[in-house]
Structure 1
Amino acid sequence: MSRCMSCEAISEGYDAATCKQRHEVLKAKVAFLTTSQPASFPDVLLFASDDGSADTAEPLVPVPAHKAVLVSRSPVFKAMLENEMEESQSSTIKIGDVSYDALLAFVNYLYTAEVWLDQQLAYYLLVMAEKYQVQHLKD
């Protein structure tokens, strides 16, 4: 029997070091997610564009989000939405060179600090984390 160094839990076959690591990860998520919950209605739409071209045959599908969440998680979104930029006026943000799935996973991460990914998606999320200065995702 051993005792967890973080939560004091006692369990047979318990790896206390692993439990402590899990607690550290959870503490980092809580720190990352310490903003108040946004209103139910999204106030900004994000659009992904795989090739950056505006003349695609298919209409772009929006990813709805809340400005408060984007601003609190990313200094780049903060600068974009709090200043007199086109994005703050139109409440739409077009993100080129990213797939809809990658954008959806990125926005989901900004809300939950969790991500399920494969190797290709990991690459795109790392690029987006760098571009939008989301250090928690890069780590």
Structure 2
Amino acid sequence: MNVQRVSTTFLKIMIFLAGLAVLALCIWLPVIAIKDAKVHPDTAYFLIPFLICAYGFCITFAITLYQAFKLLTYVERNNAYTKQSLKALQIIKKCAFAVIVLIFIGSITLKILSKVTNDDPAGPISLSLMGILAISIFAAIVDVLQKPLKNKLDK
């Protein structure tokens, strides 16, 4: 077994485990929301936008994981320089931007909620900004990978 196959298999296993974590999060989100609504009934209506953003995040993240899995399969089969790989990278980049928008909407919802409850949202909002920065870096890396692939396919 060569090193490339071991590396791609390891990455596929990590993608699968991340997918399981996202699935677990999707299963537990309503349970957590119901418990929070019972504890804080005066702000329960803010859970709807939060859940929409959370499920949107989970769906786009799952799509990204699937596309990354497909991309690794193309690499394993020595088909990395194909239109399918380029399409997978484009979908990953679009999903990254969608996640950035969803995190931003979630941060705005959190800021509005903090005005109602008089809580300090600095911690969660700073974590949101760090997440936006990390995903922006990831999207830039995907864009850098996408350009030479597109140039090679255009020739």
- TM-score bracket, normalised by the shorter chain, equals 0.3 to 0.5
Q: Which has the higher strand share?
A: 1
Higher RCO (CA-CA < 8 Å; seq separation 6+): 2
TM, length-normalised to structure 2 = 0.30
Q: Which has the higher helix share?
A: 2
TM, length-normalised to structure 1 = 0.33
